[in-house]
Structure 1
């Protein structure tokens, strides 16, 4: 099965882009290149970020948009937005993907927290958007 313009077969696995400046801190919380990834298959979007996991059905994804650059204090590590309860899993300030959900998801920081959106700083944001098959137009 394939999706998007690049017609890459699913499942696809995406690695996080690591900024070397933040690797010592990220390692302290268990986030390493081998423990940080995003997987997209025909049924699910699954994210591993050190000891944290998030999994939701693909049909729960309603938008995927390229975002960044970011301020380091807003994205590095695991960040919870106090404004909208969105979650950021960040390893770089350069760029990422903001994924919005139809139904908020739980699982990253406990069953009680439900996140309407997720930001991940993967190495190839455009390929992740393509794999999700929810292209969101950028500014005109």
Structure 2
């Protein structure tokens, strides 16, 4: 399988909010390939086997204060959000929680949300894998 790279879709307010954290188009992407899901969001990384992907769904309507800037941790379910707009994203659930937001790896996430430019193609790549 070839590796597919997906860019994030930046809205102007999110772009400004992400600048202090190094969240830029050149430092953010998600890749699917070689049996892995890999994400980079400035200094933060998420990596897991595609076998660990349990479910994929589209969502949206994110609150700016809860998603803009660096990755955000959901206190309700420990999910991580990598957001560059509030309109739409793809939520990925994992069989086994993965590290991403915490450099020590102690905080593990049962799911991650990515606001990509082509969420349908991303979901299709995950489902095909």
Q: TM-score band (shorter)?
A: over 0.9
Pick the structure with greater CA Rg.
Answer: 1
After TM superposition, list the pairs within 5 Å mapping 1:12-31 onto structure 2: 12-31=4-23
Q: TM-score, normalised by structure 2?
A: 0.92
Count of equivalent residues = 126
Q: Pick the aligned partner of 1:128 from 101, 122, 128.
A: 122
Structure 2 unaligned spans of 5+? none
With over 3 angstroms needed to count, the CA separation of the structure-2 counterparts of 1:22 and 1:107, relative to structure 1, is: closer
Q: Mean alpha-carbon deviation: is it higher for 75-84 or for 94-103?
A: 75-84
Residues of 2 paired with 1:80 and 1:86: CA distance?
Answer: 6
RMSD: 1.2
In structure 1, the residue corresponding to 2:94 is in which secondary structure? strand
Gaps of 5+ in 1: 2-9, 135-140
2:29 counterpart SS class = strand
Alignment partners' CA distance in 1, 2:80 and 2:121:
21
